Amino acid sequence: MFRRLLSQNPRRTAATGLLALSAFYGGASDDPSHHVDVSISVPLRQLLLSTSEIFLRDFARPSLFSIGGLFPRRSPAASTFPDSDSNEEALGKNQADAPCSATSTEKNFIAKAAALASPAVVNISVSKGGLRSSKRIGSGTIIDADGTILTCAHCVEDHDRKKRVCNGKVGVTLQDGSEFEGTVVNADFVSDIAVVKIESKIPLPAAKLGTSSKLHPGDFVIALGCPHALKNTITSGIVSCVDRKSSDMGLKGVQREYLQTDCAINKGNSGGPLVNLDGEVVGVNVMKLVPADGLGFAVPVDSVAKTVEQFMKNGKVAQPWIGLKMLDLNELKIAQCKDKDASCPNVMTDIVPVVFKVTPASPADRAGFRPGDIVIQFDGKPVRDIEEIVDTMRDQVGKSLKVLVKRANNKLVTLTVVPEMTDMDRCNDA
């Protein structure tokens, strides 16, 4: 503090020392009758006046000093620095009573969001037979007070029977240690989403479902679950990407989109919720990239809601397939295409879905699709990206759909395609 008062001027240095000495002796007693009087010359008095603002700003108790009337004594009641007792009274007798300030919010925002969702997080276990009996561990989220639980399909898969079906029963452990036998109501291995039901005599804590469409890269998120059977585990991070394509990760099967996050995701986190700062579920954690750290993925809750809706409506999820591999091209890529080939068709939107491969003997192949086709309309509806095409095909298995495509030299062609049910062993296409 005194460094700012020191200078090469010996008179200023002397004045600083005088003030320090006065502070030392004046601070030795809180008795108002005890103070230090110092006689100083007029030039030194003027110098002290020039430094008084700095001195008063830096010292917590300027009332300790009375130098020839330069710093008038103030009563303790007039002090702007309350003592510890008054601080406790202002903030409350304990932290719970203290008003929420910006600082406390910044420190506790992860804890507050996690506290809203964590009571609904459960541990899911599936027994594995054989010579050495063991259990596979996963996580889940209660989404209804009646005991409806959201989890991953691979968490309830029956590996012993070597079938992509569930044996029907799983173990469910709540946050408080209560154990239940759960029944797998539905499971879809394309979306990797399953619904489990437990019966409870009392309403269970349920998490609120949010919306993943409002997420942006950089948003804070929290992963809850039971990694390696360690219950009540919370990790946090940010959204790294809101539309990571399954093809980007080399995954086979129907083209899917995932939320990418740097939250710590480990074995056992699958099926647990990805939560926003409002404590709402915005995704279901499904996997991590094994060779790397900070690369976790979750199914967006908006996609999960569509899957659950089909569970309720049809008892299963109809995953349509036509045999197209497609890319969403932006304006820059379209411009580059036109530079290389002048016959490249003109487009009117910022992003367009383009066919780059047609699976032989597929519905798309029989319909006459070609690499390079730009899809303008699907089932009579304008489409802007691959996701809209997939959404349009939903519940359309076995139905004839009209598709308008644009080809070289802006030639428009209408094709008719009939979607088939998805085969999990097919390549990564729509």
Whole-angstrom Cα distance, residue 38 to residue 47?
Answer: 15
C-alpha 40/C-alpha 51 separation (Å) is 15
Around 384, how many Cα atoms within 13 Å sit in the side-chain half-sphere?
6
- Largest Cα span, the chain: 106
* Cβ neighbours around 106 below 10 Å, total: 8
Q: Are 136 and 128 a contacting pair, CB within 8 Å?
A: yes
Which residues, 6+ apart, have CB-to-CB distance to 50 below 8 Å? Answer: none
Write the DSSP symbol of residue 315.
S
For the annotated catalytic residues, the residue numbers are: 154, 192, 270
Phi-psi group of 342: left, alpha or beta (phi > 0 → left; psi -120 to 50 → alpha; rest → beta): alpha
Contact predicate 252/294, CB 8 Å: no
DSSP alpha helices (H): ranges in 217-330?
A: 301-314
Length of the chain: 430
